[in-house]
């Protein structure tokens, strides 16, 4: 995610056209490292987001809706105190550094004019957002506060002097052609040239550094060792040309998508070195908003998924431990039989045993062999026999209880394994909410929905595809969706599919008649992909008519038994036909 100086230069250029001269109406802090400014200018309202999150550090206009905490954090309160009602007078970027300074003219409670700078520093884990008083250069506050104990270069505390982050790279436009080769030759000879460019020059991410090398007509893997005078001249021309385009404002922002339609990169200029990527062009702010909206949502999904998954794994370990204890108790039943045999032998040979004996050797009428029976010398012969019968009964009771519990625990374990698979396949907060509510209804988790009755009235949202032959296909990605597609969407003559003996999706082909083999294979490939075996080369998939699928009484969500099935071996596919 290359939020580099070139991207920020494009952002600043667009912000000068949109929010410069605008009035700051409202300020929010939706996250601990993120602020949102509502700026009104020429009748339009723009929402500017600035983030100091190391993974999502950025600054751009956004149309996304953010949830705000009921009580504003301290930093937000400071920003509101000084900036609300103020006007954006300037938008500056020093060189091509990842720093933006919004100059704001505002007034204090007494009506005195205040000149302030809202500074955004977008440098990975060192990112920060600060409010600085112009003239004095004093920090009023920072979204991340720290002392010299954390950074020997500077501290960020109210009342401290603002010191710009240390600069250890050169501005390309301040370098002459004669100097340029030395910046490469100072690096180890096995260093990739693109990596050296990124480390030596301001504003250049590794992504755009590779683009520069590609534009020069050279291999992106080119190392310093094989970079001669010709290669250096070609690289210099493309590098300098790129930064001249930035100065002239000749940007061509684009958002790059992978084969699955996921935005994975963005740039301020046309990207040529990724021929496989699809691209969409737009303003720099729109490109960034689309990219980060997707990844913010993906991050929320990941966090929510991880939280539920941890609870499921914890519950699964608890059940595995109980199941192991059950199986141990059942295994100990072999000892119980021995205790019973010894008790019966003692009862049959009371006349040969006396109180005070520690052991007696008896003929075992079960095996025909002689058997040593240990005794408690403080007990009578009859009491010793009863002692063995009690041991037998204790183990037998435990084994009977374990046998009764084992089936339920095994089913619970299989159920949770299926839930884990559903969580791994979950792609939205709705999917995760459905799984959470299912677990709550089964007693594994606490119900957290503010209105569970309303939530359960909503229909699940299975995936929908259309086969190459035009047949409708529905795919459940969790137990709630599986029950829905199997017992609500499907009719008796529709075709039902599931990966064989593997937790995964219930898949329905709406047919009520003959289904082309191609459609069956396409639906089977979906059943294979949306299962625990999705990363396998080939997956066995069963299919049968829906009328041969039933849910046993009292079975857990998603559990069914089926008959009259056929099967085929298919390659997992994420999508088919049109979906």
First to last CA, the chain: 29
Q: Which two tokens stand for residue 576?
A: 């088919």
331 has a pLDDT exceeding 80: no
As a whole number of angstroms, the distance between CA 290 and CA 274 comes to 20
pLDDT digits (tens, 9 = 90+) for 239-288: 999 999 999 999 999 999 998 788 999 999 999 999 888 889 999 999 99
Q: What is the pTM of this model?
A: 0.74
Cβ-based neighbour number of residue 149 at 10 Å: 7
Name which residue leads in pLDDT, 99 or 396. 99
In sequence order, the 6+-apart residues with CB closer than 8 A to the CB of 576 are 465, 467, 468, 473, 522, 523, 525, 526
Q: In this predicted structure, what is the pLDDT of residue 456?
A: 47
Q: Which of 276, 250, 277 is nearest to 264 (CA)?
A: 277
Q: What is the pLDDT of residue 577?
A: 67
Q: What are phi and psi of 321, to 5 degrees?
A: -65, -45
Q: Report percent pLDDT > 90 for the chain.
A: 68
pLDDT at 448 over 70: no
Per-residue pLDDT band at 455 (split at 50, 70, 90): very low
Lookup result for tokens 């992909």: 529
Pairing of strands 113-121, 254-257: unpaired
What CATH number should be reported for the domain whose range is 172-285?
1.10.8.50
Please report the pLDDT score of residue 446 as a whole number. Answer: 75
Q: What percent of the chain has pLDDT over 70?
A: 97
Give the integer Cα–Cα distance in Å for 350 and 362. 11
Q: Which tens digit of pLDDT belongs to each residue from 153-177? A: 899 999 999 999 988 899 999 999 9
Whether 209 contacts 221, CB under 8 Å? no
Output the pLDDT for position 1: 56
**Does position 144 have pLDDT exceeding 70, yes or no?**
yes
Residue 365's pLDDT band (cuts 50, 70, 90): confident
Lowest mean pLDDT among 258-262, 476-480, 523-527: 258-262
Q: What distances in angstroms separate CA 92 from CA 89, 97, 286, one per listed residue?
A: 10, 11, 20
pLDDT digits 0-9 by tens, 482-511: 999 999 999 999 999 999 999 999 999 998
Q: For residue 524, what is the enclosing H or E element? A: helix 517-529
Residue 111 pLDDT > 50? yes
Structure confidence at residue 447 (pLDDT): 66
Please, are residues 484 and 499 in contact by the beta-carbon 8 Å criterion? no
Domain layout of the chain by residue ranges: 5-142, 172-285, 310-458, 459-570
For residue 517, give the nearest of 487, 546, 495 by alpha carbon. Answer: 495
What is the CATH architecture assignment of 5-142? Roll (2.30)
Q: Please state the rounded mean pLDDT for residues 511-533.
A: 93
Contact 441, 480 (CB under 8 A): no
Q: What is the pLDDT of residue 362?
A: 87
DSSP string, 50-87: EE--TTT-EEEE--------SS--HHHHHHHHHHTT-E
């Amino acid at each position: 995610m290359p939020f580099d100086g070139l991207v920020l230069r494009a952002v600043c250029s667009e912000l000068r056209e949109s929010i410069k001269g605008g009035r700051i109406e409202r300020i929010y802090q939706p996250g601990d490292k993120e602020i949102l400014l509502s700026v009104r200018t020429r009748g339009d309202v723009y929402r500017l987001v600035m983030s100091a999150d190391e993974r999502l550090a950025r600054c751009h206009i956004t149309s996304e809706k953010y949830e705000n905490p009921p009580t504003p954090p301290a930093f937000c309160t400071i920003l509101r105190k000084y900036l609300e009602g103020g006007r954006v007078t300037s938008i500056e970027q020093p060189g091509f550094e990842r720093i933006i300074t919004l100059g704001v003219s505002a007034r204090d409670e007494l009506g005195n004019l205040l000149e302030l700078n809202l500074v955004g520093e977008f440098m990975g884990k060192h990112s920060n957002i600060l409010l600085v008083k112009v003239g004095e250069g004093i920090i009023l506050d920072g979204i991340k506060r720290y002392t010299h104990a954390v950074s020997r270069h500077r501290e960020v505390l109210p009342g401290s002097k603002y010191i710009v982050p240390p600069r250890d790279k050169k501005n390309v436009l301040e370098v002459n052609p004669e100097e340029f080769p030395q910046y490469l030759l100072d690096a180890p000879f096995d260093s990739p040239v693109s990596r050296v460019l990124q480390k030596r020059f301001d504003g250049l991410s590794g992504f755009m550094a590779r683009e520069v090398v590609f534009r020069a007509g050279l291999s992106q893997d080119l190392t310093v060792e094989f970079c001669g005078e010709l290669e250096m001249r070609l690289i210099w021309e493309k590098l300098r040309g790129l930064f001249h385009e930035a100065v002239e404002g000749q940007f061509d922002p684009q958002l790059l998508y992978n084969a699955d339609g996921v935005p994975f990169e963005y740039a301020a200029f046309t990207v040529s070195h990724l021929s496989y990527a699809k691209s969409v062009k737009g303003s720099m702010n729109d490109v960034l908003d689309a990219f980060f909206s997707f990844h913010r949502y993906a991050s929320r999904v990941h966090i929510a998924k991880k939280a539920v998954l941890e609870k499921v794994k914890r519950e699964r370990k608890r059940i595995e431990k109980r199941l192991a204890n059950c199986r141990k108790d059942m295994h100990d039943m072999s000892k119980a039989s021995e205790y019973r045999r010894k008790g019966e032998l003692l009862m049959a040979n009371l006349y040969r045993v006396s109180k005070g004996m520690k052991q007696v050797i008896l003929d075992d009428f079960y095996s025909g062999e002689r058997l040593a029976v240990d005794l408690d010398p403080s007990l009578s012969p009859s009491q010793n026999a009863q002692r063995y019968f009690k041991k037998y009964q204790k183990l037998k009771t435990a084994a009977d209880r374990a046998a009764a519990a084992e089936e339920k625990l095994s089913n619970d374990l299989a159920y949770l394994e299926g839930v884990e698979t559903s969580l791994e396949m979950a792609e939205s907060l709705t999917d995760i909410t459905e799984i959470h509510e299912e677990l709550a209804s089964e007693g594994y988790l606490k119900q957290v929905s503010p209105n569970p009755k309303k939530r359960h009235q909503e229909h699940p949202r299975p995936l929908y595809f259309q086969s190459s032959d035009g047949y409708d296909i529905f795919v459940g990605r969790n137990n709630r969706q599986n029950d829905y597609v199997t017992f609500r969407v499907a009719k008796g003559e529709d075709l039902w599919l599931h990966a064989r003996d593997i937790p995964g999706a219930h898949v329905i082909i709406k047919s009520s008649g003959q289904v082309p083999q191609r459609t069956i294979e396409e639906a089977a490939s979906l059943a294979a992909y949306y299962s625990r075996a999705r990363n396998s080369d080939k997956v066995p998939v069963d299919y049968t008519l829906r009328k041969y699928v039933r849910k046993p009484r009292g079975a857990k969500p998603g559990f069914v038994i089926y008959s009259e099935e056929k099967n085929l071996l298919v390659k997992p596919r994420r999508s088919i036909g049109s979906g």
